[in-house]
């Protein structure tokens, strides 16, 4: 990963850095009319929670905008928001006419990266928005999952499993965005032909993830035959979490009904075996 990517990975602190630490004295700092700003076309967030915006608006009304909006100039006295669209929208709700901005000379590619990373790191994107952001960062910058992990601060398994959600039908993705279907439930539907119908059944009957894993097992069996090393993503996540905590390779297997199973710990030498025994005896 290049130096610029590492800089972006530090979030807005890198953007706000200046030789002059006093923003009000910086040539890049300016107070502008709120109408001179326009949204970033690369904004990954498509849904802005109304209650959260109102809370932010009330905070801005009582305390002012504590952090400037990062922008780039696109015309005379016209700017595109690079980071801070929620603050811009909230300010409009309470009728603020002027806002503080920091003007940066940023390329189209950097605008996209900053917008995605700022949203991923600082606000709660829904899983579908996050998946699209990960995919866009990966494709447009030729980042592999390892580079994305370093850049964003999310685990490799989280990134790969989140991106896999995009294999689902658009109607199922809409249910996730509407917060009617959890990410855990949605992942069990990947590769299932009647995924949307099952999604509606999950919602109506309040089914658990384990319930759906059992009902979709017949589809996953067929997939396992074509993909030798297939592992259910929920199980894979549990394995990774346990492996990271123990420092040992771990596998989890469920029986056909999914009601019981086994956990296997792998050690590479007798010292590791002794360590496992000490932990179990505590």
Q: Give the mean pLDDT of the chain.
A: 77
Question: In this structure, are residues 276 and 248 in contact, taking their beta carbons and an 8 Å threshold?
Answer: yes
pLDDT-derived band of residue 234, with 50, 70 and 90 as boundaries?
low
Question: In this structure, are residues 59 and 121 in contact, taking their beta carbons and an 8 Å threshold?
Answer: no
Choose one of 95, 120, 145: the last residue of a domain.
Answer: 120
pLDDT at 172: 94
Does residue 107 sit within a domain? yes
Residue 96 has pLDDT above 50, yes or no: yes
Does residue 177 sit within a domain? no
Does residue 248 sit within a domain? yes
Convert the pLDDT of each residue in 45-57 to its tens digit: 766 778 888 888 8
* CATH number of domain containing 46: 3.90.1530.10
Does residue 137 sit within a domain? no
Q: Tell me which of 85, 129, 213, 239 is the catalytic residue.
A: 85
Choose one of 120, 138, 169: the last residue of a domain.
Answer: 120
Does residue 181 sit within a domain? no
pLDDT at 123: 58
- Residue 241 belongs to what domain range? 231-282
Buried b (16+ CB within 10 A) or exposed e, 179-190: eebebebbbbbb
Residue 170 annotated as catalytic:
no
Phi, psi (degrees; rounded to nearest 5) at 184 = -60, -45
Does residue 110 sit within a domain? yes
Convert the pLDDT of each residue in 126-152 to its tens digit: 889 888 888 887 887 777 777 888 777
Choose one of 101, 120, 139: the last residue of a domain.
Answer: 120
Does residue 8 sit within a domain? yes
Which region, left, alpha or beta, applies to residue 64 given φ > 0 means left and ψ of -120 to 50 means alpha?
left
Sign of torsion, CA 220 221 222 225? positive
Percent of the chain with pLDDT over 90: 14
pTM of the entire predicted model = 0.56
Does residue 277 sit within a domain? yes
Of 164, 182, 175, the residue nearest 197 (C-alpha): 175
Q: How many domains are contained in the chain? A: 2
pLDDT-derived band of residue 223, with 50, 70 and 90 as boundaries?
very low
């Amino acid at each position: 990963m290049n130096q610029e990517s590492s800089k972006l990975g530090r979030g807005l602190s890198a953007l706000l850095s200046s030789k002059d630490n006093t923003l009000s004295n910086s040539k890049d700092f300016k107070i502008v009319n709120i109408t001179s700003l326009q949204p970033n076309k690369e904004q990954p967030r498509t849904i802005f929670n109304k209650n959260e915006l109102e809370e932010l608006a009330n905070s801005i009304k009582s305390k002012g905008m504590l952090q400037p909006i990062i922008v780039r100039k696109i015309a005379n006295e016209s700017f595109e928001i690079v980071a801070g669209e929620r603050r811009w929208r909230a300010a409009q709700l309470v009728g603020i006419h002027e806002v503080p901005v920091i003007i940066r000379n940023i390329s189209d590619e950097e605008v996209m990266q900053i917008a995605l990373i700022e949203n991923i790191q600082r606000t709660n994107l829904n899983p579908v928005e996050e998946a699209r952001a990960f995919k866009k960062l990966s494709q447009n910058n030729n980042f592999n999952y390892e580079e994305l992990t370093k850049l964003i601060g999310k685990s490799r398994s989280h990134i790969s499993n989140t991106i896999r959600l995009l294999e689902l039908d658009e109607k199922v993705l809409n249910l996730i965005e509407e917060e009617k279907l959890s990410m855990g439930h949605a992942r069990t539907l990947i590769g299932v032909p009647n995924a949307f119908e099952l999604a509606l059944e999950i919602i109506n009957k309040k089914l658990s993830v384990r319930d759906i894993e059992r009902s979709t097992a017949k589809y996953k069996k067929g997939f396992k035959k074509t993909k030798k090393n297939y592992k259910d993503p929920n199980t894979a996540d549990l394995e990774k979490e346990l492996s990271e905590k123990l420092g040992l390779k771990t596998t989890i297997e469920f029986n056909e009904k999914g009601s019981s199973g086994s956990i296997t710990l792998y050690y590479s030498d007798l010292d590791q075996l002794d360590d496992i025994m000490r932990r179990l005896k505590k």
